[in-house]
């Protein structure tokens, strides 16, 4: 299936499942080598990271845990457009090595927000892993410790990423057709 239509838009395959699995394996290998002996907790950021997190986690050979967090818009009168609160953090992460798992880092605004909130829980260190990274769109200077694949600044779907909620179930990554 080289082309798909999702809602009103056409998409074409840009990253095959073999390339995806290859990149995930390389990330896992690097983590397995880097993170030995640390008290680790992986934190997948929902919704987009669930597929990447599942594939990566299967290949992690360390003693570790995983949990999932979500960003929710503030409710009520204090609501301010872009500020989102991290919800679902029930574990004590004080003194631990937290590895944030993101599906994609685009501008980096989301990542910056997540990192600032996590620092408040006093982890030993925060490492960032993103499956996809758009270097041309990145506006922050937070170092990203693990990157799966760098991609151009185009809109993509599949492998957990959505267009208006759809397309997350696609096994390959698709780019908006021009």
**Which spans of this chain sit near Mg ion (rule: CB under 5 A)?**
48, 103
Rg (CA), the chain: 16
Distance CA 90, CA 81 (A): 26
Binding span for ligand IMP by CB under 6 A among 10-18, 55-63, 107-115, 117-125 = 107-115
Does 130 engage in binding with ligand IMP (CB under 6 A)? Answer: no
Task: Report the SS3 class of residue 134.
Answer: coil
For residue 20, give both structure tokens. Answer: 């995806």
Closer residue to Mg ion (CB): 39 or 68: 68
Instruction: Write out the catalytic residue numbers.
Output: 106
Minimum distance from CB of 33 to Mg ion (Å)?
Answer: 26
Q: Which partner in Mg ion, ligand IMP, none is near 172 (CB below 5 to 8 A by kind)?
A: none
110 binds ligand IMP (CB under 6 A): yes
CB 48 within 8 A of CB 103: yes
Torsion of CA 172, 4, 150, 17, to 10 degrees: 10
Of 122, 57, 135, 58, the closest CA to residue 96 belongs to 122
107 binding ligand IMP? (CB under 6 A): yes
Binder of residue 161, out of Mg ion, ligand IMP, none (CB less than 5 to 8 A by kind): ligand IMP
Least distance in Å: CB of 37 to ligand IMP? 30
């Amino acid at each position: 299936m080289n082309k798909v239509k999702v809602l009103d838009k056409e998409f074409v395959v840009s990253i095959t499942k073999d390339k995806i699995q290859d990149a995930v394996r390389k990330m896992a290998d690097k983590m397995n080598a880097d993170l030995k002996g640390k008290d680790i907790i992986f934190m997948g950021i929902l919704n987009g990271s669930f597929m990447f997190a599942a594939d990566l986690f299967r290949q992690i050979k360390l003693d570790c845990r995983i949990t999932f967090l979500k960003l929710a818009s503030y409710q009520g009168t204090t609501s301010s457009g872009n500020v989102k609160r991290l919800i679902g953090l029930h574990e004590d992460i004080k003194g631990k090595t937290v590895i944030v798992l993101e599906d994609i880092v685009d501008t980096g605004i989301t990542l910056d927000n997540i990192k600032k909130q996590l620092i408040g829980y006093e982890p030993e260190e925060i490492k960032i892993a993103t499956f996809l990274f758009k270097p041309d769109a990145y506006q922050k200077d937070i170092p990203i410790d693990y990157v799966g694949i760098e991609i151009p600044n185009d809109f993509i779907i599949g492998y957990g990423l959505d267009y208006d909620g759809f397309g997350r179930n696609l096994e390959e990554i698709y780019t908006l057709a021009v």
